[in-house]
Amino acid sequence: MVSIFWLILSYLVGAMPFGLLVSTIGCGTDPRNHGSRNIGATNVARTCGVGYGVLTLVLDIAKGCLPVLGATAISDSLLFLSLTGLTTVLGHMYSVFLHGRGGKGVATCVGVFLGAAPGPLLWGIAGFLATLYWVGYVSLGSLVMVTVIPVALLLTGCFGLLPMALIVMVLIFWKHRDNIDRLRRGEENSWRKK
């Protein structure tokens, strides 16, 4: 019973639309009406300024990390830990507070793996930063990151978290399908100023 309650709570924490709240309260703007129309940190930064984007990033990472850390205190089961991480990411992507809509899940994914597997996450972040440095696309860097994390889990022997990592990777690729189309057409927005 405690486990079911925790998973529901994790979903609700993940579903909190911090990007929308930060933008609305901080600069009086709904990010869903501007830029990429996403509530994530990148669009908030473009719409309201870098400071608001950083705040959104921190809050979205925290809402991924805290439920996972709580799950480790409740149980030592990797399945329970994985389900907690997955429901938190799903909450962000398909928020009950936004009628089933939500963000792309990248920052929340970072939070989940910060709590569950920080070593493999560091490899993923290195891939993200290298991609961002070389090509300037946050979306491509995010896709590289979520691809590297399962590989790093495999190489470090963290097999129990691999199914969650693969599911999260597929979900994030799905949420980035429009970005992938724009990347193919050469129309994706670069973080670099032109």
CA atoms within 13 A on the CB side of 46: 18
Instruction: Please tell me the predicted confidence (pLDDT) of residue 193.
Output: 53
d(CA 95, CA 98): 5
What span, in angstroms and rounded, lies between the C-alpha atoms of 146 and 158? 15
- What mean pLDDT is reported for the chain? 93
Read off the amino acid at residue 56.
T
102-155 pLDDT, tens digit each? 999 999 999 999 999 999 999 999 999 999 999 999 999 999 999 999 999 999
Reported as a single tens digit per residue, the pLDDT across 35-62 is 777 888 888 988 888 999 999 999 999 9
Find how far residue 53's CA is from the centre of its chain: 14
- Listed range (42-51, 78-87, 172-181) with the worst mean pLDDT: 42-51
Q: Full-prediction pTM beyond 0.85?
A: yes
Q: Where are the domains of the chain?
A: 2-185
For 121, which DSSP code? H
Query: Per DSSP, what are the bridge partners of residue 95?
Result: 101
Residue 106 is which amino acid?
Answer: V
